[in-house]
Amino acid sequence: MQPIVYEIVGSIYILQIRITHVKNMTWRFIDTDMTDGYYSAALFESIAKHVGGGEVDDTILFWRAKTPAVYLGYHQYVEDEIHEEYCAANGIQVVRRVLGGGCGFCDEDHILFSVIASEGGGTVPADIQGAYSRVLGGLINTLRMLGFDGKLEPTRNAVYSQGRKISGNAQGRFEGAVLVNGSFLLDFGFDEMDRVLKNPPMNLAEGVECARDGMITLSELLDGAGYDIDYVKGALKRGFEDALGVEAQRGVLTDSEIELAQRLSEKHRSRDWIYRMDDKRRRRRARER
């Protein structure tokens, strides 16, 4: 049976019914807050290598985009997804992550997260959908703590509230680690996203023609009442802890993780990495002529 918890937020009593597993493991929690997009991609890659190698504890990482950025899936093509000239002219970073999935436009009004576990450790299931279900239960917990509904949409590996998407997610496995990354929308610049992405509704529910109609933010759920970001982060952290059955203690990055992240960030900033799939396609087409 799920625990029932009452919490006072202002003068409102919120009934919390959380998805929980028995807590029997200690994880590490790190919040870098405002972080460069290229460095963030390098950082969760570095942490994953260290987690997979057994050098550090499994980790929940939070950050926010210091500069607006498009996070591109590993197998996607820049020229198919993004208005490149607009991004270049407006200082919007194009970041190719080591994970699959679709692209997403992010700014400081998103809490971005990476749940990084040792593969085969038992906390995150081995199968892809099982991993999504376990980890994204943390988002559902968070929404319930804040007084709203939350539902996993398995065909898109997204979390919805009031029938609209509030969290998009991606997954990857390499070097002994499994990562589930995603976003929690606090607010959103829909007009800017329309200028950045070529097909904004692509990863939304079938039939949605305008991203604004298929997405929802915490600000909208609160009807403009405002929120305390530290409180929301705390709820998100607790949501993940309950879903995973762990206790995440605030920690620090090791010197080795920082050093590797700094080196990897040069790769993530390079044109060769950002356009690697586009260049492969151009070479393939040239051979086929």
pTM: 0.90
Residue 116 confidence (pLDDT) above 80: yes
Lowest-confidence range among 2-6, 205-209, 216-220, 233-237?
2-6
Residue 165 confidence (pLDDT) above 60: yes
Count other C-beta atoms under 10 Å from residue 59's C-beta. 24
Local structure of 146: helix, strand or coil: coil
For tokens 């586009």, the residue is 278
Closest-CA residue to 115 (of 266, 243, 264): 243
Residue 21 confidence (pLDDT) above 70: no
Average the pLDDT over 190-206 and give the result. Answer: 88
Confidence at 211, pLDDT banded by 50, 70, 90: confident
Closest-CA residue to 95 (of 45, 30, 61): 45
> CA 59, CA 34: separation in Å to the nearest integer?
18
Confidence at 88, pLDDT banded by 50, 70, 90: very high
Average the pLDDT over 99-128 and give the result. Answer: 95
Q: Give per-residue pLDDT as tens, 37-59.
A: 999 999 999 999 999 999 999 99
Write down the pLDDT at residue 23: 55
Average the pLDDT over 73-81 and give the result. Answer: 96
Residue 8 confidence (pLDDT) above 60: no
> CA 81, CA 227: separation in Å to the nearest integer?
32
> CA 60, CA 114: separation in Å to the nearest integer?
6
Confidence at 213, pLDDT banded by 50, 70, 90: confident
Lowest-confidence range among 117-121, 224-228, 248-252?
224-228
Higher-confidence residue of 23 and 75: namely: 75
CB-CB contact of 119 with 177 (8 Å)? yes
Write down the pLDDT at residue 197: 95
Average per-residue pLDDT in the chain? 91
Write down the pLDDT at residue 25: 78
> CA 71, CA 17: separation in Å to the nearest integer?
33
Higher-confidence residue of 288 and 22: namely: 288
Write down the pLDDT at residue 269: 98
Confidence at 24, pLDDT banded by 50, 70, 90: low
Name the β-bridge partners of 244: none
Write down the pLDDT at residue 228: 96
Write down the pLDDT at residue 20: 54
